[in-house]
Every structure is written in structure tokens, then in C-alpha cells.
């Protein structure tokens, strides 16, 4: 497909980037820490951390991993915590030690954590104490040998640290009791700071992340993202964002979770590299705290999702703010509603531009321009060094305006799924084209519109939920004879999970179904609607007719 979209590029944005500019992410981190040494890199709960501090702590942590724990290049380490100052330190430290990182959702149930730990073969984990008891319950079934814990306030100055950790544990009671005795992150960093052994040589083709994403067959799959993949996407987004910023490097609001590859790539990699401070929000559902932070720090940029924008716009406190200092926002993860875009732009007197991506592409594929035409309802144009095409059901490329599956090729596309060659072969061609599983069309100017999903997937506030996974769990309930899960449109979150259940016995109640789901599935996967039916609609040969349920 001819790259007609270049005509809509901001003047300052290059058409191509060099994904081989750096040997590894570590080189990027090192360069940024030297360049911006005394500047603030991250802020969280009123506490700042400079680039120098990031370097010092992440170097020390890397030394601890190599020297004390004897972890080798290519070993896997999991990180399970909300947005805290500790997160980038641990992440960068792991990269410097040559490890592969598994970003683990703190909302995961024991069962989900176990699946990820088993599949990835993680040998170590850095975990926020709030989630430790769940890990302990499944620990014997994993290969984890080393547990490093951290508390919410660990990177705060002494008084604030003590108070915060006390409140979290003793007042809010957010730390379920755990049995073991583990080394704390601060202690690990302290031990590591005494070592000066060289870090292993890390190459851009080494895997940096096992980034987990579900699948239609319910299999847990990790996209293998290399250093090169992440550097590429970081460079691509940097071109895009800089075009809209000029020389300024303002603070960005980072309310979306770092364990999701969107914020990891854009905020923790891209904005860090550009010398832009990131305001990390630990709990974006606590709107009062979020609004207080916005008032205090006045971030000029925000990386957001439709659900969050809606929640803020509906909040009385937020409605009183003057946000005219904002430069622009970038929305991803799920479709940005036209009405939400209009309201946000009216309130902030700045644009919110929609982008699109998927875990398998590190993640950003396309974005509306930061300057120039911004097309509502479109996911924008391909970012630098990105090729796209639309293919029909026979895999043949079709032209502008025609509908089919969106395919992507570029340096940000993953190497494949970890340990799943068949699944990889289904989405990745030998010449590097990634099938996204989304139906789309591209207009004559190169603007892409997503029409529908080819994959059987439900999108809840930007999180992927696969019906199979929900169904498999609910079928474990003895009194469930049959179940089908679909996505139902929802004003707030885009979609919610709805299940149709055929009961074996009258004992089964909606409450029991939801309780079982909550025990075994992360919150966003739990059905919001449960409907009992006599029989699932089926065709003559016994196949469930999902279209009749939708």
C-alpha cells in the first residue's frame, strides 16, 4: 500500500526512525540519566525522583540481581506492583542485568498469577506486599526462587515512608497477612550498591519483555518484545510527540498502569528518554487524589483511556479546574468516543488524539497527528517506519476504502509468542506482517478506521478479555451445564462481560456465579451481567450460535 499518510505527517516528524540507533534499552537509560542528571524523572504521591537517583538505584538493583542472586542473562523476573517510583527502578535494573521482565497485573487472582509464572518460568519476582499472600499460596507450583518485596511508601523520605506504610498496612488493612520473611527492595538496593561488577552485554535483539496477552483459545500467551522492538516504538512515538511539543519537555500525567505496555512504552521509555517528568498515579480510581495531583503539578500532557476521561469529566471537582495550560493528550487502549473527545477538548482547550496499538506491536501502530488534521473516529495514520495493509479473508491485499483485516509491519512488531510456535504462525507471516485481528479500512489519505473485531474478544476499559477464559472458569462450577460469554456495550467502560448460563440445578444463583468468578478472574474479567437460560442457541450440528446471543 502506498504510504499516502506521509502527506498528513506533522512537518517536524520524520518518516523513518533508526531502530538500531542504540545497542539496547540500557544505552538509552544511561544516555538519558547522564543528559538529565539533576532533573526530575518521576513523581509519585508528592515525592520526586531525579534521573541521577534512578540511575543509582537501578544500577544497584541490577548488581544485586547479578551478584547476590546470581541471575544470568535471559533469566526471567516478574514485577507485580501498581504505579510507584519503585517500578521504573526495578524495570531498568532488570534490563541492566540482562533479564527478561514479566509485567504482572496486581489485579490477577492466584490462578492467573500461577499461569503467568508457570508459563514464563520466572525465577524471581519483585512484588508489592499487598499481593504477597496470593503469591505465597501458589509459590510451590512455580519456579520462583527469589522474592523481593516492597511496600507502597518504600521510596519516600523516612517520615513519609513510615507513615504511608503504616496507614496502608494497619489502617487501610491493604496487606493480607503473609507467612514468609523476604528481603525488601531497599535492602536489596543497599547490598547491590557495594558491588561494581560489570553488567552483561545486552544486545538489541535480546528479549526484554514477555508481555502477556490472552487468546481466543484461552491460552496464556506472551508476546516476546526485544530491546529493539521497544526502542523502535519509543523512537517512533518520540517523533510524533515532539512534533506537537516543539522544544518544550513538559510533565506528563501517567494514570494508566505501567504493567500495560502502552504506558510502559510511551511514559516509562519514551518520555523518560525525552527528559519529560512522569507523574505516576498509583490508583486512578481515587479521583480526589488524582485531581489533587493534577491541581498541584499541572501536567501539560496526559496518556489516557476513554473510561478515565469520562470519569473525570463527570466529576464536579474536576469540572471546576482550569486546564488551559495543557498541550495535548493521547488516548489509547479502547475507542475514544466522539462525545468524550469533544467534552475534553472543550474543557482543556487542547486536543486529545486517538492512537491504536496492540501488545504484539510494542504497542503503538498508528496515531492521529499532534499537529494538523485530527480525524474523530479514526485511529490515525501509521507512525514512522510502520507499514500497514488491509487484507481480505484469503489474505490478499485490498485497496483504499475497502474493508478487511488490518496488518502491520515494522520494527516494533514482536518476535512471536513465547513457546507457542503454532499461535505465532497464525498471526505472524514469514515476511514480518502481523495480523491484528481487527477489521478496518484505510481512506485515501491513509487514515485508518477500526470497523469491528475479527478476534472473539471483549474490551473492558482497554483491557482484553477472551470469552473462552471466562467460560472455562465458570464451567468449573458443578451446577453450570453450559455457558457462553459475550461483550455487551457499556457507556462507561466500552464493553462489559455478559454470560448466559444453563443451570444444572436451581441451587445456582447469580451471586454464586459472580463470587466464583471473582475468586478466579481479575476484576475486569468478572461478568457484570449474568443471565440464566434454558438452552444456548445452537445450530443443527450442535455449535453454539454466538451471533444470536449478541
Partner 1 sequence: MKYTKEFSEIFNHPSRGEFLCRAIRPSDKEGLVMALKDLSIESRKKRFLTLKKGFTEKELKIFTEVDFVRHVALAILKVVDQSFEPVGTVRFFVDEDNLERAEFAITILDKFQGLGIGNYLFDHLCEAAKERGIKELYGTASTENNKIVKLMKKKGEVKSKVITHGILELSLKLG
Among 241, 245, 484, 496, binds partner 1 (CB under 8 A): 484
Of residues 455 and 528, the one with the C-beta less far from partner 1: 455
Q: At 532, is the secondary structure helix, strand, or coil?
A: strand
Among 181, 198, 316, 394, binds partner 1 (CB under 8 A): 394
Among 161, 187, 389, 546, binds partner 1 (CB under 8 A): 546
Q: How far apart are CA 392 and CA 527, in angstroms?
A: 33
Candidates 335, 387, 361, 358; CA nearest to 16 is 387
Let me know how many helices (H) and strands (E) the chain has, helices first. Answer: 18, 26
Least Å distance, CB 431 to partner 1, is: 19
Q: How far apart are the first and last CA of the chain?
A: 34
Least Å distance, CB 157 to partner 1, is: 51
Among 12, 133, 195, 216, binds partner 1 (CB under 8 A): 216
Cβ neighbours of 249 (radius 10 Å): 18
Q: Which stretch binds partner 1 (CB under 8 A): 106-114, 152-160, 329-337, 471-479?
A: 471-479
Question: Considering just the CA atoms, what is the radius of gyration of the chain in Å?
Answer: 23
Q: Does 472 bind partner 1 (CB under 8 A)?
A: yes
Q: How far apart are CA 343 and CA 345, in angstroms?
A: 6
Q: How far apart are CA 316 and CA 346, in angstroms?
A: 16
Q: Does 171 bind partner 1 (CB under 8 A)?
A: no
Task: Convert residues 422-441 into a mask of x (bound to partner 1 by CB under 8 A) and - (unbound).
Answer: ----x----------x-x--
Of residues 387 and 482, the one with the C-beta less far from partner 1: 482
Q: 46 and 72 in contact (C-beta within 8 Å)?
A: no
Q: Does 67 bind partner 1 (CB under 8 A)?
A: no
Q: Does 2 bind partner 1 (CB under 8 A)?
A: no
CA 147 to chain centre: 23
Q: Does 483 bind partner 1 (CB under 8 A)?
A: yes
Q: 263 preceded by cis ω (within 30°)?
A: no
Q: How far apart are CA 1 and CA 400, in angstroms?
A: 8
| Residue corresponding to grid cell 504510504 | 3
Q: Does 503 bind partner 1 (CB under 8 A)?
A: no
Cβ neighbours of 546 (radius 10 Å): 15
Cβ neighbours of 296 (radius 10 Å): 11
Q: Which residues of 401-416 are buried (b: 16+ CB within 10 A; e: fewer)?
A: eeebbbbbbbbbbbbb
Of residues 421 and 542, the one with the C-beta less far from partner 1: 542
Task: Convert residues 441-470 into a mask of x (bound to partner 1 by CB under 8 A) and - (unbound).
Answer: -----------xxxxxx----------x--
Of residues 217 and 296, the one with the C-beta less far from partner 1: 217
> What is the 8-class DSSP label of residue 538?
B
| Residue corresponding to grid cell 501502530 | 365
Task: Convert residues 519-538 into a mask of x (bound to partner 1 by CB under 8 A) and - (unbound).
Answer: ----------------xx--
Q: 223 and 217 in contact (C-beta within 8 Å)?
A: no
Of residues 2 and 534, the one with the C-beta less far from partner 1: 534
CA 360 to chain centre: 11
Q: Does 482 bind partner 1 (CB under 8 A)?
A: yes
Task: Convert residues 341-380 into a mask of x (bound to partner 1 by CB under 8 A) and - (unbound).
Answer: ----------------------------------------
Among 247, 393, 430, 491, binds partner 1 (CB under 8 A): 393
Among 7, 15, 21, 543, binds partner 1 (CB under 8 A): 543
Instruction: Give, as ranges, the residues between 23 and 52 that touch partner 1 (CB under 8 A).
Output: none
Cell representation of residue 18: 533508526
Binding site for partner 1 (CB under 8 A): 216-218, 393-394, 426, 437, 439, 452-457, 468, 471-472, 475, 480-484, 535-536, 539-544, 546-547, 550
Amino acid at each position: 500500500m502506498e504510504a499516502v499518510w506521509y502527506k498528513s505527517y506533522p512537518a517536524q516528524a520524520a518518516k523513518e526512525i533508526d531502530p538500531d540507533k542504540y545497542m539496547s534499552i540500557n544505552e538509552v537509560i544511561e544516555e538519558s540519566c547522564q543528559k538529565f542528571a539533576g532533573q526530575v524523572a518521576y513523581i509519585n504521591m508528592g515525592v520526586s525522583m531525579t534521573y541521577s537517583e534512578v540511575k543509582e538505584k537501578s544500577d544497584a538493583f541490577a548488581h544485586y540481581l547479578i551478584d547476590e542472586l546470581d541471575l544470568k542473562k535471559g533469566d526471567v523476573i516478574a514485577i507485580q506492583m501498581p504505579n510507584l517510583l519503585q517500578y521504573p527502578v526495578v524495570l531498568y535494573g532488570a534490563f541492566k542485568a540482562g533479564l527478561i521482565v514479566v509485567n504482572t497485573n496486581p489485579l490477577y487472582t492466584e490462578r492467573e498469577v500461577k499461569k503467568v509464572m508457570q508459563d514464563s518460568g520466572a525465577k524471581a519476582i519483585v512484588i508489592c506486599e499487598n499481593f504477597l499472600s496470593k503469591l505465597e499460596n501458589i509459590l510451590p507450583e512455580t519456579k520462583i526462587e527469589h522474592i523481593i518485596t516492597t511496600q507502597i511508601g518504600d521510596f519516600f523520605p523516612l517520615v513519609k515512608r513510615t507513615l504511608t506504610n503504616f496507614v496502608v498496612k494497619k489502617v487501610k488493612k491493604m496487606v493480607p497477612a503473609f507467612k514468609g520473611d523476604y528481603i525488601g527492595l531497599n535492602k536489596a538496593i543497599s547490598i547491590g550498591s557495594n558491588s561494581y561488577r560489570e553488567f552483561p552485554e545486552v544486545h538489541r535483539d535480546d528479549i526484554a519483555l514477555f508481555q502477556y496477552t490472552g487468546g481466543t483459545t484461552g491460552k496464556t500467551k506472551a508476546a516476546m518484545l526485544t530491546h529493539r522492538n521497544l526502542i523502535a516504538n519509543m523512537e517512533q512515538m518520540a517523533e510524533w510527540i515532539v512534533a506537537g511539543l516543539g522544544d518544550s519537555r513538559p510533565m506528563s500525567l501517567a494514570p494508566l498502569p505501567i504493567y500495560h505496555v502502552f504506558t510502559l512504552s510511551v511514559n516509562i521509555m519514551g518520555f523518560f528518554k525525552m527528559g519529560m517528568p512522569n507523574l505516576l498515579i498509583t490508583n486512578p480510581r481515587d479521583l480526589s487524589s488524582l485531581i489533587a495531583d493534577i491541581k498541584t503539578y499541572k501536567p501539560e500532557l496526559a496518556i489516557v483511556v476513554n473510561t478515565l476521561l469520562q470519569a473525570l469529566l463527570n466529576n464536579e471537582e474536576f469540572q471546576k479546574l482550569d486546564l488551559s495550560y495543557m498541550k495535548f493528550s493521547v488516548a489509547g487502549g479502547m475507542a475514544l468516543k466522539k462525545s468524550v473527545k469533544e467534552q475534553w477538548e472543550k474543557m482543556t482547550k487542547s486536543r486529545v488524539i486517538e492512537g491504536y496499538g496492540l501488545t504484539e506491536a510494542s504497542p503503538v501502530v498508528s496515531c492521529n497527528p499532534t499537529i494538523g488534521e485530527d480525524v474523530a473516529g479514526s485511529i490515525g495514520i501509521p507512525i514512522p517506519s510502520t507499514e500497514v495493509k488491509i487484507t481480505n479473508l484469503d489474505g490478499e491485499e485490498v485497496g483504499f476504502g475497502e474493508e478487511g483485516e488490518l496488518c502491520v509491519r515494522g520494527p516494533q512488531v514482536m518476535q512471536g509468542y513465547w513457546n507457542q510456535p503454532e499461535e505465532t504462525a497464525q498471526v505472524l507471516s514469514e515476511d514480518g506482517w502481523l495480523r491484528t485481528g481487527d477489521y478496518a479500512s484505510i481512506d485515501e489519505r491513509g487514515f485508518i478506521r477500526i470497523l469491528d473485531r475479527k478476534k472473539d474478544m471483549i474490551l473492558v476499559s482497554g483491557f482484553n478479555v477472551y470469552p473462552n477464559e471466562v467460560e472455562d472458569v465458570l464451567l468449573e462450577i458443578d451446577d453450570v451445564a453450559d455457558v457462553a460469554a459475550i461483550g455487551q456495550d457499556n457507556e462507561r467502560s466500552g464493553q462489559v462481560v455478559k454470560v448466559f448460563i444453563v443451570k444444572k440445578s436451581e441451587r445456582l444463583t447469580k451471586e454464586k456465579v459472580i463470587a466464583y468468578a471473582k475468586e478466579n478472574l481479575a476484576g475486569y474479567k468478572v461478568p457484570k451481567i449474568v443471565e440464566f437460560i434454558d438452552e444456548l442457541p445452537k445450530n443443527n450440528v450442535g455449535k453454539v450460535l454466538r451471533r444470536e446471543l449478541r
